[in-house]
Amino acid sequence: MTVVRYIFINGYPGVGKLTIAKELQRLIPGSQVLDYNTMLDMIPSTMPVDSPEYNAKRSAVRGDFLDAAAQLDYTRRLTWIFTDVLYADEAGGKGAREYQTAAHARGVQFWPVVLECDEDMNEARLEMVEKFAEQREDVEGLRKIRGEKKLHSFGEGGDEELKMDVTRMMPDEAAWKIFEHMREGFVWGTAAASSS
């Protein structure tokens, strides 16, 4: 029996969440990545991101995706790798707990990961991404966010959160470290490790 997990990767814009998630997907058979940009695309671009309505809509969209992951026959068999940008504030804590609650409600392991990165490298990565794809944040926006907001962390206790500085890591190396961290906590592919 295949073990299903929910892996939640949190980090600032441009830190490399999606690239690392895709590398992690290559290491975990039967896994699927759901990037927060996919969810944000469902929210009208006219809605200000700092409004209560935006956070309510974002929560509703996230809930729809989590419900689908839990209820559809095909998606119930997948390990989900979620990426998001959630801060250490009320909305961020609520959003992070939605992923955690969804995993526990499904009876699957929940593995939160917080990606940290040096500010200069974070800016350089964001600039590189901006050249090749439509990016929601620019460097000035990133500086403002990093100056004002810390990333949500589950802290000590409960789920096996991994905080990882990816400043000098390649995406495949970061993915391998996440994989190894989880592998230390259970045996891959066995029903004996089905829930935490």
Give the separation between CA 146 and CA 13, rounded to whole angstroms.
10
Residue 17: give the domain boundaries: 5-181
Pair of tokens at residue 86: 């959630």
Dump pLDDT digits (tens) for 134-175: 555 678 888 999 999 999 999 865 567 999 999 999 999 999
Overall number of domains in the chain = 1
Q: Residue 132 falls within a domain, yes or no?
A: yes
| Average pLDDT over every residue of 99-112 | 92
Q: Residue 137 falls within a domain, yes or no?
A: yes
Query: Across the chain, what does the average pLDDT equal?
Result: 84
Q: Residue 194 falls within a domain, yes or no?
A: no
CATH classification at residue 176? 3.40.50.300
Q: Residue 18 falls within a domain, yes or no?
A: yes
Confidence (pLDDT) at 189: 43
Give the separation between CA 164 and CA 64, rounded to whole angstroms.
29
Q: Is the pLDDT of residue 11 over 60?
A: yes
